């Protein structure tokens, strides 16, 4: 599943064993998310592979 697919599905997603929540889709099309433990905000390419947290 891609980051964009996970954004549409909503909830929490996992990337390299780290959990993130979604903030928004940027004007550039990238997906803005927040790392749950650290609070750092990241900007991800929409085709980045991830897993959705159940």
Of the pLDDT bands very low, low, confident and very high (cuts 50, 70, 90), residue 23 is: very high
As a whole number, mean pLDDT of residues 36-47 equals 96
pTM for this structure? 0.84
As a whole number, mean pLDDT of residues 28-52 equals 95
Of the pLDDT bands very low, low, confident and very high (cuts 50, 70, 90), residue 53 is: confident
CB within 8 A of 52, min separation 6: which ones?
A: 1, 6, 9, 11, 12, 13, 14
Beta partners for residue 30, in sequence order = none
- Give me the pLDDT at residue 2, please: 93
Of the pLDDT bands very low, low, confident and very high (cuts 50, 70, 90), residue 41 is: very high
């Amino acid at each position: 599943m891609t980051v964009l697919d996970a954004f549409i599905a909503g909830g929490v997603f996992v990337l390299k064993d780290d959990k993130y929540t979604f903030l928004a889709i940027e004007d550039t099309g990238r997906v803005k998310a927040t790392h749950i433990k650290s609070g750092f905000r990241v900007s991800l390419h929409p085709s980045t592979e991830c897993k959705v947290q159940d």
